[in-house]
A and B are shown apart, each in its own frame.
Chain A
C-alpha cells in the first residue's frame, strides 16, 4: 500500500535519501496503533468534537468510541456509552497525550 503512489523508477533513489528521516518518522498507521485504547478527541468537519476512549478503527477512519462526550461549538451536549463515527466525517483524531 505504501508504495502505490511511488514512481517505480524513483524508488531506489527515494530509499537512499529517506533513510536519515526514517528514524523519527511516524506514519499514520504508527499513530493509530499508539492511540488505540487511549483517550482521544475526534473533530468532525462540521466542527463537532467527540471525546472518549478509542475502541477500534479501520482504514476508512471509521471509529468506535467508548465513554463518549459530544461537544457542539465547545458545549457538552450529549454522552454516549458507545458510539460509531463514519470515517468520511472525520477531520482529525487528536491524542490526549498532554
Chain B
C-alpha cells in the first residue's frame, strides 16, 4: 500500500543495535538501544556519555556508564541508528 517509513519505525528497527544520540546542549551518548516510548524516552545499554569537561568546556570527556540507563526524551535532539559516537564523526576524522 505505502512504502513510507515513519520516523519511529526507523528507530524501532534500530532496537538491539548501537545508536548515537545528540542531546540539546553539547552532550552526546552512544549505546545499545533496548527500547523507547512515544515520548522518545530511550533505554540504552552499555551507554557511553560524551560531555564537556566542567572545568574546561572545550574538552569533551568520555564516560562509560557500565549500566542500563533511561534517557529523558525531552532532551533528545538527534538519533543516528548504527552510529558509534563522536569519534566516528567527520569532525573527529578531520583533526
A contact set with B: CB distance below 8 Å: 1-2, 4-5, 7, 10, 14, 18, 21, 24-32, 35, 41, 43, 45, 47, 61, 73-74, 87-88, 90-98
Which A residue sits closest to B53, measured CB to CB? A73
12 intermolecular pairs with C-beta atoms under 8 Å apart: A2-B38, A5-B8, A7-B6, A10-B6, A24-B15, A30-B35, A43-B49, A73-B55, A91-B71, A95-B68, A95-B69, A97-B66
The prevalent SS among residues of B at the interface is: mixed
Which residue of A is nearest B55, CB measured?
A73
Q: List the interface of chain B (C-beta within 8 A of A).
A: 6, 8-9, 12-13, 15-16, 23, 25, 27, 29, 34-38, 41-43, 47, 49, 51, 54-55, 65-72, 74-75
Known contacts A25-B15, A88-B74: A94-B38 contact under CB 8 Å: no
